[in-house]
């Protein structure tokens, strides 16, 4: 049984996503489990170099997670032929430039979304990657949530009949920073730093809608800045000058209508922080992050509108939970393992590439334009 090393330049690992999802739950966890097992029994062993600006933070992270290599010199890392893959989870605004640099250095690419803060740049990096013949992938983690995987199985089974509509509710209250510290970074609320819930979330909704319900053809989106002033990490107030909520409707290929509310200014009274309800002619399903419930045509209660009596039907009781039928490891890790297998030729296809990333940026940009111009925006087909 041989071990195949994969050198990975991991940029932005001191951030929230970089540390929690990509280093701790994915790369360090894969290493601790002895690597990714291939069909012939060999193992792929990721060998990361943690890259960032703050040596102390990098050293602490490396120590805590059994990593030996750190660097504050990205250029030197890109020049080192021992490391074949460049990964980025740092700021959105610098991402496209870093991808260009890494492609020019001959590296393969795996990055967080959004792949850029403008469609023009997202398309440019996708085209450069294609021309360079490198392998590339973009994090599309929501597809690997157990709830959405179960929902996909429900859809594939034909249980729903013809899908009519999808209703998504995403969000929770993000504290303003005065009564208690905010649980998201302040850059999320600043235009100059690549913030805004439309740019953040519509990238996700593009691949969720495209992969589960039908390709997005048009969007109508209303954004809002409900909380215009917040308190930053430094304890000082700042102006929140981007959208902290987005109310968006999508037309999908095949006639499905989807509406998704995304908000950091809402209090949760539903099954989970994100829920997707799908109504079809033969049944409905609703998925949260982990769970999914279904209701068939024959199990659908028959309510009659009568506001003069307390509601006699327990609507929650009429749904059946889709059981856990397999292990559901962390979604970021699952996607990492798929990408690493693709990288070494173990699997031939990895569908979530930089062009898929560009589609996400396209939808975010169209959402922002729809809000600005107060109209529906049709999405053009993107060509590599």
Ligand X SMILES: NC(=O)c1ccc[n+]([C@@H]2O[C@H](COP(=O)([O-])OP(=O)(O)OC[C@H]3O[C@@H](n4cnc5c(N)ncnc54)[C@H](O)[C@@H]3O)[C@@H](O)[C@H]2O)c1
| Distance of closest approach, residue 240 Cβ to ligand X, in angstroms | 16
Report the SS3 class of residue 279: strand
| Distance of closest approach, residue 89 Cβ to ligand X, in angstroms | 5
| Distance of closest approach, residue 20 Cβ to ligand X, in angstroms | 8
The token duo for 102 is 């890494």
| Distance of closest approach, residue 110 Cβ to ligand X, in angstroms | 12
Decide whether 197 or 256 has the Cβ nearer to ligand X.
Answer: 197
What does the DSSP 8-state code read for residue 192? G
Binding site for ligand X (CB under 6 A): 12, 14-18, 52-53, 89-92, 94, 112-114, 139, 141, 185, 187, 200
What does the DSSP 8-state code read for residue 53? S
| Burial category of 305 from C-beta neighbours within 10 Å (exposed 0-12, middle 13-18, buried 19 and up) | exposed
| Distance of closest approach, residue 148 Cβ to ligand X, in angstroms | 13
Residue 186, CB half-sphere, CA atoms under 13 Å: how many?
18
Decide whether 17 or 105 has the Cβ nearer to ligand X.
Answer: 17
| DSSP per residue, 216-249 | EEEEEEEEE-S--EEE-TTS-EEE--S-SEEEEE
| Distance of closest approach, residue 335 Cβ to ligand X, in angstroms | 10
- Alpha carbon of 374 to those of 70, 116, 217, 221, 366: distances in Å? 48, 24, 17, 8, 11
Decide whether 139 or 322 has the Cβ nearer to ligand X.
Answer: 139
Decide whether 89 or 96 has the Cβ nearer to ligand X.
Answer: 89
Q: Look up tokens 């990593």; give the residue.
A: 67
Q: Which of 253, 265, 186 is nearest to 223 (CA)?
A: 265
| Distance of closest approach, residue 203 Cβ to ligand X, in angstroms | 8
| Distance of closest approach, residue 305 Cβ to ligand X, in angstroms | 40
Decide whether 70 or 256 has the Cβ nearer to ligand X.
Answer: 70
The token duo for 57 is 């933070």
**Beta carbons within 10 angstroms of residue 202's beta carbon:** 29
Decide whether 92 or 370 has the Cβ nearer to ligand X.
Answer: 92
Which residues neighbour 371 within 8 Å (Cβ) at sequence distance 6 or greater?
A: 198, 221, 222, 223, 243, 246
Which run of H or of E encompasses 150?
helix 146-157
| Distance of closest approach, residue 217 Cβ to ligand X, in angstroms | 24
Decide whether 32 or 273 has the Cβ nearer to ligand X.
Answer: 273
Evaluated on CA atoms 221, 222, 225, 227, the torsion sign reads negative
| Distance of closest approach, residue 52 Cβ to ligand X, in angstroms | 6
Letter string b/e over residues 212-235, b meaning 16 or more CB atoms within 10 A of that residue's CB:
bbbebeebbbebebebeebbbeee
Decide whether 53 or 372 has the Cβ nearer to ligand X.
Answer: 53
- Residue with smallest beta-carbon separation from ligand X: 15
Decide whether 12 or 137 has the Cβ nearer to ligand X.
Answer: 12
Decide whether 6 or 174 has the Cβ nearer to ligand X.
Answer: 174
Which residues neighbour 152 within 8 Å (Cβ) at sequence distance 6 or greater?
A: 211, 212
CB of 38 closer than 8 Å to CB of 341: yes
């Amino acid at each position: 049984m041989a071990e195949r090393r994969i050198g990975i330049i991991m940029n932005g690992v001191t951030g929230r996503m970089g540390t929690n999802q990509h280093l701790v739950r994915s790369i360090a966890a894969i290493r601790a489990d002895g690597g990714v097992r291939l069909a012939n029994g060999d193992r792929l062993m990721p060998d990361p170099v943690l890259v960032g600006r703050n040596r102390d933070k990098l050293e602490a992270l490396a120590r805590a997670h059994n990593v030996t290599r750190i660097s504050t010199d990205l250029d030197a890392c890109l020049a080192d032929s021992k490391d074949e893959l460049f990964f980025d989870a740092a700021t959105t605004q610098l991402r496209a430039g870093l991808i260009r640099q890494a492609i020019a250095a001959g590296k393969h690419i795996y990055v967080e979304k959004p792949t850029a803060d403008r469609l023009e740049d997202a398309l440019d990096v996708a085209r450069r990657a294609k021309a360079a013949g490198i392998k590339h992938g973009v994090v599309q983690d929501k597809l690997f949530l157990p709830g959405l995987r179960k929902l996909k199985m429900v859809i594939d089974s034909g249980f729903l009949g013809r899908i009519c509509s999808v209703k998504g509710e995403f969000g929770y209250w993000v504290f303003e920073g005065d009564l208690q510290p905010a649980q998201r970074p302040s850059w999320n609320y600043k235009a100059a730093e690549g913030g805004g819930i439309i740019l953040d979330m519509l990238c996700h909704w593009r691949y969720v809608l495209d992969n589960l319900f039908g390709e997005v053809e048009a969007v109508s989106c209303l954004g809002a800045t409900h909380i215009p002033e917040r308190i930053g990490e430094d304890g000082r107030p700042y102006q929140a000058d981007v959208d902290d909520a987005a109310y968006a409707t999508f037309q999908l290929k095949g006639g499905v209508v989807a509406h998704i509310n995304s908000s950091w200014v809402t209090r949760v009274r539903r099954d989970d922080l994100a829920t997707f309800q799908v109504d079809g002619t033969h049944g409905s399903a609703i998925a949260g992050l982990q769970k999914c419930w279904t209701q068939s045509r024959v199990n659908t209660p028959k309510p009659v509108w009568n506001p003069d009596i307390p509601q006699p039907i327990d609507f929650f009781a009429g749904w059946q939970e889709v059981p856990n039928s397999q292990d559901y490891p962390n979604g970021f890790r699952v996607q990492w393992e798929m990408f690493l297998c693709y990288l070494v030729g173990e699997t031939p296809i990895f569908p979530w590439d930089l062009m898929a990333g560009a589609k996400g940026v396209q939808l975010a940009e169209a959402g922002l334009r729809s809000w600005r111009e107060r109209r529906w925006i049709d999405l053009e087909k993107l060509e590599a």
